[in-house]
Chains A and B, each alone.
Chain A
Amino acid sequence: MRTTIILKTASNYLLPVLLVFSIFILLRGHYLPGGGFVGGLIASIAFILHSFANGLEKTKELLIVHPGFLLPVGLAISFMAGLAPVIFFDMPFMTGLWSHDTVAILGKVGSALFFDIGVYLVVNGVTLTIIFTISESA
């Protein structure tokens, strides 16, 4: 794929901005529009944009691991967030656990946040895996 200088330069700046934005969307999800699902999609858009500008190989180097590895990691985090109350407090599966004090920016931190982080990783992994494989094989 031919790329333009403008797109290349722009993508280099856009990638970190978009990633920070996606994390922002992820974290604020519990109180304002956003959440792991959308955050994950935005993050994957960031990487795909980068790959369009710099080629797939560059983006893969940037990611270090294959996006497919995000799937088990994300699923495990989500599952553990649900399992934690069962293991530590003998409460039903997926009971919400909450910190007593509020943390700056985030507000109260709870198991739901970790669940959302898991969703974020899975969604990111799924989109990147599908799009990367298709663009490689097509």
Chain B
Amino acid sequence: MLTAILTGFIFSILLVFVGKFFKGKLSILASIVPLGLFLYFFQFIAPIADGEVITRSFQWIPSFGVDLGFKLDGLSLLFSLMITGIGFLVFAYTSSYLKGHEYLDRFYGYLAAFMGAMLGLVLSDNMITLFVFWELTSISSFFLIGFNNTNPASRKSAMTALGITGIGGLLLLASALLLNNITGTYSISEMLSMSEAIRGNEFYAVAVMLLFGAAFTKSAQFPFHFWLPGAMKAPTPVSTYLHSATMVKAGIYLLMRFTPILGGENIWNYTLIIVGGITMLYSAIHTLFRTDLKGILAYSTISALGILVFLIGLGTEEAFLAAAVFIIVHALYKATLFLVTGIIDHQTHTRDVTRLAGLNKIMLPVGIAGILAAISSAGIPPTIGFIGKELTYEATYHSETIIIISMIAIVLTKILLLYAGFVAGIKPFTGKLPEEHKNVKAPGPIMWIPPVLLATLGLVFGIAPFLIEGALIKPVVTALGGDASEIHLALWHGFNLIFILSLITIGVGTTLYFVIKPSEKLVASAAKFNSISPENILNLINKGFVQFSNFWTNFFQNGYLRNYISIIILFLVVLVGYIMIGNTRFVIDYNSLSKITVYEITTTLILIAGIFYTVFTESRLAAVAAMGVVGLSICLIFVFYSAPDLAMTQFSIDTLTVILFVLVLYKLPKYLKLSDYKTRVRDGVLSSVFGLIITVLALEVLSEPVSKQVGEFYAANSYVEAHGKNVVNVILVDFRGADTLIEVSVLSIAAVGVFGLMKLRLKMRDRKRYADTSLKQENKEQ
């Protein structure tokens, strides 16, 4: 299983070396990778349907309880098949859609990495591993959304998507840590048996909310939905793959995966019902006000995701069944519609639905696919969409909570989705072909076969639902903690209220399609409400945040080293002083202090004299020399207290520091009085207070009994273990050798940094050239 997940990553790394091979005519070969994976997962259908659960575990960080544990059950199998199956079609489609694109190999690399991350996400049985793959999907989707990286809008929406889904990922991590705190494990399977304890825990609500944060951001729930329409700047294969079939469903997957563990409580169910309900209705209404095909599809996807969240929130077996079916329904029709939109865009160079009509005369197979998908999305028999819609209605009708409101909401949503599906799937293909598209050519078969295949599957599953009933749907319901033995999918299930509602939906929706024509006017009328949209509000918050951080930075990081040091010292004084108030006893045991000798007094006096001379001298060079005196006095004190190693190092360092200062000062202009009387007094007070606090602290430390354990360990073991008599050196090169190794690395980096700063300064001529080119680029973008 690990190999399957890594295949995507390995493939994308391989592209670095053999990328050219996949760029030209042979690019379709890249689709062998997902096809192979699809076949690999396909063979698990039979054992999983028999109730088997396949697990694999590899050690990763055992000391933290983090392993690469993978579990293949009904739920993860369904997602794996979708990821690899639709992935295969998208890979194949891309080879034609982006034919001859300069960076096609790169695109495949991102796509393959994304596929690997997504597979890892749905197969992980460990929350930390899940989190890692979760973030990997965010990052790889960032590259995919921003694929047209010369377009500023594309870059911006990639950033938005990464920001929103990335924050969600962090919430997931927090939730994982919290759940680990409650259960003592990161393993999802083990948590399953502890669900009672988790629900009883006082942090249950917090853990659930954090998990919701992750799921809602990823699955574009209100009010985090706006990144998804923005992400439509990506090439259409990306929209198909990420924004209909896979990534956005990761949140749904997460909710489903954790339903048996965390679900069943009111806070879980009601939050999901409310958020899902608002999302589905809100974005379904939005589809009325769009003319861009991809925009319509984006909003209808959000709406579908809302329905799924809503269904999971209902929490009944029927609802799980409806959700499982609807995932398949949605993946099939939405992927088809996106691929169809991509073809239209590719051939006619427009996605404006008001300018599209009658294309079936040119591209009949594409039209068939579009119309079939539209019918499935509308829930018209005999497609699988019909079964999905009936199950959804039934689950809502039989749920115990707020039936009337949710019934109205779901029917309204379905009506609007029917409208959206018709506009996207039927409108471009019916009516009279406009003059401007007379010369449009039909796409190649590699392009139209994938959508036709997907659309046909929707029809086949509808006519013969038993194909997926036992193989896919039942295991999913079992994985969600339901009893699947009674499930039976069928097109016809009697004439009842649900069927009447279904007829109403189809009738009203179709009427709506003929009454409301998508137009620029509607788009403009919706734009009036932009100022209160969640996106705008978030942007405002963002702006405020940037202003605040600008102020913060300018205040603290104003570029004057002396200010930094003052602030650091002030901060320390306040913090340490605050702790010391009430905790300091000021009891000094004079007997425990050693006798003060004459040399000590003399050295201290020299030191003090050095300090005063440094502060008050008028000459810079004299100040540096006096600093040297201070350093050497400290050196002497080290010698008195028998620390020859320290003294030697201090002596050399001090010498070198003075030399360095002299070198720098040699070229500086004449001594300037940078600080006036006032600042000097301020600095003096600050340093005195700091010195006082450190003195008190040192005396306080002395009055505490010292733990000699560490020192004794080194003294006892340095010769036995490390064959050295000089404990200081033994610690440096042996006991804590790794520290030293990293320390010298840091020193080297510092040296390289100084070298880079001083030596590699751009010459005036080069600098001018850089300024010119960047200016030109800016102009171009504007």
- Count of chain B residues with a beta carbon within 8 Å of a chain A beta carbon: 41
Is there an interface contact between B754 and A112, defined as CB atoms closer than 8 Å? no
- B744 near A78 with CB under 8 A, answer yes
Complex Cα distance A79/B740, Å? 11
Give the number of A-B contacts (CB < 8 Å): 145
Point out the residues of chain A lying under 8 angstroms from B566, CB to CB: none
- Are the CB atoms of B750 and A45 closer together than 8 Å? no
The interface stretch among B256-264, B612-620, B656-664 is B656-664
- B730 engages A30 (CB within 8 Å): yes
A86 within 8 A of B: no
* CB contact under 8 A between A126 and B663, given known A82-B738, A116-B733: no
**In the complex, A122→B738 CA distance in Å?**
15
Chain A, residue nearest B759 (CB): A133
Give the chain B neighbours of A31 by CB distance below 8 A: 724-726
B644 contacts A by Cβ under 8 Å: yes
Q: Would A42 and B722 be within 8 Å (CB), given that A29-B729, A133-B759 are in contact?
A: no
Is residue B181 contacting chain A, with contact meaning CB distance below 8 A? no
Is the C-beta of A53 less than 8 angstroms from some C-beta in chain B?
no
Q: By the criterion CB–CB under 8 Å, are B726 and A42 in contact? A: no
Binds A, one of B276-284, B392-400, B645-653: B645-653
Chain B residues with CB below 8 A from A72, complex form: 748
Query: Among B721, B730, B755, B759, which residue has the most Cβ atoms of chain A within 10 A?
Result: B755
CB neighbours of A130 from chain B (8 A):
660, 750-751, 754-755
Report the nearest A residue to B722, measured CB to CB: A96
Contact with A along B713-735 (1 / 0, CB 8 A): 00000000111111011101110
**Bound: A131/B663 CA distance, A:** 8
Q: For A115, what are the chain B residues with a Cβ–Cβ distance below 8 Å?
A: 733, 737, 740-741
Q: Which residues of B have CB within 8 Å of A137? A: 758-759
Complex Cα gap A129–B753 (Å):
10
B747 within 8 A of A: yes
Output the least CB separation between A21 and chain B (Å).
11
Nearest chain B CB to A64 CB, angstrom units? 18
Distance in angstroms between the alpha carbons of A48 and B657 in the assembled complex: 12
B666 on the A face (CB < 8 A): yes
Given A35, A71, A135, which contacts B751 in the complex, CB threshold below 8 Å?
A: A71
How many angstroms from the CA of A68 to the CA of B754 in the assembled complex?
11
**Contacting residues, chain A, for B652 (C-beta < 8 A):** 38, 41-42, 45
Q: A36-B732, A134-B754 are in contact. List 8 more A-B contacts (CB 8 A).
A: A30-B730, A38-B648, A68-B751, A82-B738, A96-B722, A107-B723, A122-B747, A134-B758
Who on chain B is nearest to A93 by CB? B738
Interchain CA distance A122-B667 in the complex, whole Å: 28
Is the pair A126, B751 in contact by a Cβ cutoff of 8 Å?
A: yes
B729 and A30 contacting across the interface, CB-CB below 8 Å:
yes
Give Cα distance in the complex from A133 to B754, angstroms.
Answer: 8
Given A44-B656, A68-B752, A134-B660, A38-B724 contact (CB < 8 Å)? no
| Distance A136 CA – B664 CA, assembled complex (angstroms) | 10
Highest count of chain A CB atoms <10 Å: which of B649, B656, B723, B738: B723
Judge if B655 is at the interface, Cβ distance under 8 Å. yes
Tell which of B721, B722, B726 touches A32, judged by Cβ atoms closer than 8 Å: B726
Assembly CA distance A103 to B733 (angstroms):
20
Give Cα distance in the complex from A108 to B738, angstroms. 22
Q: Is A6 an interface residue when CB atoms closer than 8 A count as contact?
A: no
Instruction: Flag whether A19 is at the interface (Cβ < 8 A).
Output: no
With A38-B648, A125-B748 as contacts: A134 and B664 at CB distance below 8 Å: yes
When A and B form their complex, which 5 residue pairs have the shortest distance between CB atoms, in order from nearest?
A41-B652, A33-B644, A30-B724, A126-B751, A138-B667
A68 CB contacts on chain B under 8 angstroms: 751-752, 755
